[in-house]
Amino acid sequence: MAPSAPRTRVAAALRMKQIALDNQSRTIRRLRAQLATERRGLATTKKELEDTQIALEASHKVIAGLTEIGLSMSKKIERMKAKKRQAKESHVMCHQKFQARIQEAEYSMQAQHLIIEALVEEKDSLLQTIQGLQEANNAPAPFDDEWEEEQPEEEGLRIFLWARER
């Protein structure tokens, strides 16, 4: 029996080493499987990151495009505001010019009215002078008919004054 004991020990030691090698093989296979799983996960994550990067770059391009459009619109709005401001200033200037012309016309009409009134007063004065001279010379009044014909001018003056008041 003695000779089999060392063999049994050697066989047991070999069996223990075989078990340890089998355990290490299983551990290696398990670790390789985990590594493969991790690599697939990393590949998936890498693909997702690449997709995210592409989407991010596209998003940046869209944002840059929108920013450019926004700046362009801002410039257009500023130009439109400037045109509107110019149109308003032009309108104000035209209005002021028309107001000045209207004022000039009113002053001219007032001056004409005063001249007409002075002429009418002078006419009355001349008529009185003529009548006075005719009475002093006992002469007939030759201009009575003509003065009656001039009444339509006074009618025209009334129409002119009426139009001016409107």
The 10s digit of each residue's pLDDT in 50-63 is 999 999 999 999 99
Q: What is the pLDDT of residues 14-33, one digit of tens each?
A: 999 999 999 999 999 999 99
Residues contacting 57, CB < 8 A, separation 6+: none
Residues contacting 139, CB < 8 A, separation 6+: 133
For the chain, give every domain's residue range.
4-165
The answer to whether 99 and 105 are in contact (CB under 8 A) is no
Tokens (6 digits) for 148: 């009656």
DSSP 1: -
162 vs 120: CA distance, rounded Å: 17
Q: pTM, whole model, 2 decimals?
A: 0.43
pLDDT-based confidence at residue 146 (cuts at 50, 70, 90): low
What's the mean per-residue pLDDT of the chain?
86
Predicted confidence at residue 1, as pLDDT, reads 46
Q: Looking at per-residue confidence, does 137 or 145 come out higher?
A: 137
Q: What is the pLDDT of residues 90-138, one digit of tens each?
A: 999 999 999 999 999 999 999 999 999 999 999 999 999 988 888 888 8
Predicted confidence at residue 134, as pLDDT, reads 86
128 vs 120: CA distance, rounded Å: 12
Closest CA to 83 of 94, 91, 71: 91
